Amino acid sequence: MNDQVLHIIGAAVGEGASDGGCKWGAAALKDHGMARALAATGRTVTWGDTISAQPMLATSRLHAIEVFSDHLSVAVQQVLRHGQQPLVVGGDHSCAVGTWSAVADHVRPQGALGLIWIDAHLDAHTPDTSDTQAPHGMPLAALLGHGAPGMTGLFGWSGKLRPEHVALIGARSYEPAEQALLARLGVRVMYMPEVLERGFAACFAEAQAIAQSGTAGWGISLDLDGLDPRDAPGTGTPVEQGIRLADALAVLAGCQQQAGFVAMELTEYNPLRDFGGRTAQAATDLVCAVLAPERATMELAA
Ligand SMILES: NC(=[NH2+])NCCC[C@H](N)C(=O)O
């Protein structure tokens, strides 16, 4: 039984994407009852502050995300300092910079952070390589220490993630420059054809081994567009042929009980495209699967 308080932080950011609809994602998931569903698994849950990007106080889109990342990272740091477990609910995927910078800084005295990144995209551009200049295409590069100083250097240090502790699953839409960066760094990327061939379970097991080995803790950054749009149509940038929801639910169940699991982030929920609320339900079921105090609880509920 896990009695650590689960503290949800809403990340109201859509400015990182070309279509800003994800800015309303956290509020919509709150209304949908995500906290209630998590509490029903047996966790003690608080929905804390929502951190909002404020473009009117910034000089550019990138600057808005830099300031937002800083604010979000401080909020996540506070949760960790209180001994609670953070769940960051986005928001476009640029929120990963704030989330994982704080988690990496928190575990740093004990060692490195491992991260499993589930996504249709690589999110490994820098301002020098991105055609769209959309910051939500840049967070993984920033966490690896590449990109705008305002995104790489939170808490006064850069390289929050080391390449050997990171694994991506589900990529199927990307540009050559970001692919080249990850290849040069030696990051393990399981592209969608490999996931279809080996199965999501085998890929996730490999990713978990990467995230756990030689690290002081690990987490999951789940971009909903990693899922197949047939199961999760309400995302910022949907791409055909993704991970099926049933596979994800089965495989991700019980992560909370795995050694070293620290935190989760769920991103790119776009309520403006979620007619009928199917994606909100998928998002809710996924966080419950990962964060339930005991695996059996989810199996009984299913
Ligand atoms: N987190 C996301 N949905 N990222 C999409 C990025 C799309 C594209 N690679 C870009 O950089 O603009």
Q: What is the pTM of this model?
A: 0.97
Chain position carrying tokens 């506070």? 78
CA gap 190, 204 in Å, rounded: 9
- Cβ pair 103, 76 in contact under 8 A: yes
The DSSP bridge partners found for residue 190 are 169
Return phi, psi of residue 217, to 5°.
180, 165
Q: What is the ipTM of this complex?
A: 0.98
In the predicted model, what is the mean pLDDT of residues 190-194? Answer: 98
At residue 300, the pLDDT reads: 52
Q: From the CA of 106, how far away is ligand 1's center (Å)?
A: 28
- Amino acid letter, 133: Q
In the predicted model, what is the mean pLDDT of residues 25-51? Answer: 97
3-class DSSP state of 170: strand
pLDDT band, very low/low/confident/very high, at 297 (cuts 50, 70, 90): very low
At residue 3, the pLDDT reads: 82
Supply 21's token pair.
């609809």
At residue 301, the pLDDT reads: 54
CA Rg, the chain, in Å?
17
Domains, the chain, with CATH or none: 6-301 (3.40.800.10)
CA gap 23, 294 in Å, rounded: 32
Ligand 1 is surrounded, with C-beta below 6 A, by 93, 121, 123, 125, 130, 132, 134, 136-137, 174-175, 223, 225, 236-237, 268
